[in-house]
Structure 1
């Protein structure tokens, strides 16, 4: 397998109101051994970011400092040089609005994983002949079952922006409300519904551990408002590759197949991120070694 490829507790702290000065400048000074990476507590981003931190600290002389922030703040921070990088740029659709603002001001080191999908998700016990497409949400019988609610995640997420467009495109605004919360609140609502076998629609994505725990499916999106298949890229500040060539090479080479990532995420959910990361490294030595080959 060719490994070198180019290219959701609360998800944000203090949201987009965080002043980037609170991060301090991440621009490397002479002899700087600490790399600052932004992240948000989405299950895929948390696993990949903490895996990268573990490997960088094991395989190089650098330390990694993680800074939790909302997506918008991360893009701004990398563009300004206040963060060294972020490992959760969903492209081309999900973060299109953010990317448009920083394109040319950051460097894209390439995809960390591909084939990701965004959409509206229902438990598989919801009959397909009753609800199989977003269009079906307009049925009176379906509206009654769902109590006029679509369970969302944190309001700054690209998935929520696309979901608001979806509400408008399908004419759902008068009949449904899109509820903002967090990734954790979304899965908690899904867990309650699963336990009671109640109908629910949540804003969801793969990879996610919930697909390992429950039988779920995406609603069909005939208008394509929730985007196509996505790739999730490592984005770094200008000058990062010059300051940290070994780490830049590692991030450029790092690629995790979706099935491996989703399995590791579910393992993290059942145990801990630390244990799941250790297990992943032990299970995939050849892949990890290849990531550290010079680009």
Structure 2
């Protein structure tokens, strides 16, 4: 499995041309003022959470779609907290990876009045604690008494993530896991630990979420959560900055109508991330995937 340095990633879009919404691209459809004939500004900055693959995939997809329509798109990778601060200040235009009503609720409570909720594009999201498929336990309420079988470790992701907050504040005290070593670093580091344990045939417990391509790449299973500590199924929302709807009225409409089920998302994530080599430019992969799903992609801006 490929490892990625997400923090260092920066995808830059090239300016092309645009026609009225619902029409095909043309070289004569960028206005003299630098905007697009559909009423949107040409330059767009999409914030992308470090390590959140579903958000990376959705952002790369929309980058490719919008550049074909004349937008100049920049993807800026950052940790969760700075993204919401930046959206509220119009430093970013939009983020496509807000989980509600649980994971990112604190940030929406703090910054929500300065942002716009464009709705959920996937409603099958779930926070999980996953273990290797042949692990001798099936439920979180069995983990504490079997902690030694997992080297007394629970491997987490970014310290600033909502998943980390829920794990620290609800899961660990709720299931008596205080004596386990809870390791936080980054999603790539967690996946590296998962890879190493899988290859060695060892037990491992990690914080994870669905949808994620790891469920196709590794023999893993979710531990049951009888206490409901990880919450219910969530929606993945797009959130625009405070000026997004006025700066991008057409794109705001497209994103409001945007829907992508988990199976389709898995297929995009798998071709992007589940590869042996280190990939720095996803554009050719995404363009190939678009060509294989052209009718659905065209419907996003029809």
Deviation digits for residues 131-157 of structure 1 (CA, Å, limit 9, x no counterpart): 111110121xx2211121100011011
Q: 1:151 aligns with which of 152, 155, 158?
A: 155
Q: 1:190 aligns with which of 176, 188, 194?
A: 194
Instruction: Give the 5 Å matches for 1:9-158.
Output: 9=4, 12=7, 31=35, 32-40=41-49, 41-59=51-69, 61-127=70-136, 131-139=137-145, 142-158=146-162
Query: C-alpha displacement at 1:11, in angstroms?
Result: 5.3
Which residue number corresponds to residue 177 of structure 2?
Answer: 172
Query: C-alpha displacement at 1:107, in angstroms?
Result: 0.5
Indicate if the aligned counterparts of 1:150 and 1:177 stay in contact, CA closer than 8 A: yes
d(CA) in 1 for partners of 2:213 and 2:286?
Answer: 14
Question: Quick one: structure 1 residues 113 and 196, their matched pair in 2 at CA, closer, same or farther if it must change by over 3 Å?
Answer: same
3-state SS of 1:108 partner:
strand
Aligned residues: 264
Which residue number corresponds to residue 216 of structure 1?
Answer: 220
Q: 2:236 aligns with which of 226, 232, 235?
A: 232
Query: C-alpha displacement at 1:104, in angstroms?
Result: 2.0
Query: C-alpha displacement at 1:278, in angstroms?
Result: 1.8
Deviation digits for residues 111-169 of structure 1 (CA, Å, limit 9, x no counterpart): 12220111100111113xxx111110121xx2211121100011011111111021112
d(CA) in 2 for partners of 1:91 and 1:64?
Answer: 26
3-state SS of 2:122 partner:
strand
Question: Quick one: structure 1 residues 270 and 10, their matched pair in 2 at CA, closer, same or farther if it must change by over 3 Å?
Answer: closer
Q: TM-score, normalised by structure 1?
A: 0.84
Bigger CA drift: 239-248 or 269-278?
Answer: 269-278
In structure 2, the gaps of 5 or more residues are 9-32, 36-40
Query: C-alpha displacement at 1:54, in angstroms?
Result: 0.9
Deviation digits for residues 214-273 of structure 1 (CA, Å, limit 9, x no counterpart): 221111111111111111111001231222122212212221110110122111124553
Indicate if the aligned counterparts of 1:118 and 1:205 stay in contact, CA closer than 8 A: yes
Indicate if the aligned counterparts of 2:125 and 2:234 stay in contact, CA closer than 8 A: yes
Indicate if the aligned counterparts of 1:125 and 1:197 stay in contact, CA closer than 8 A: no
In structure 1, the gaps of 5 or more residues are 1-7, 14-28
Indicate if the aligned counterparts of 1:9 and 1:183 stay in contact, CA closer than 8 A: no
Deviation digits for residues 75-117 of structure 1 (CA, Å, limit 9, x no counterpart): 1111111111111101110111111111222101111222011
3-state SS of 1:232 partner:
strand
Stretches (4+) displaced over 6 A: none
Alignment root-mean-square deviation, CA:
1.9
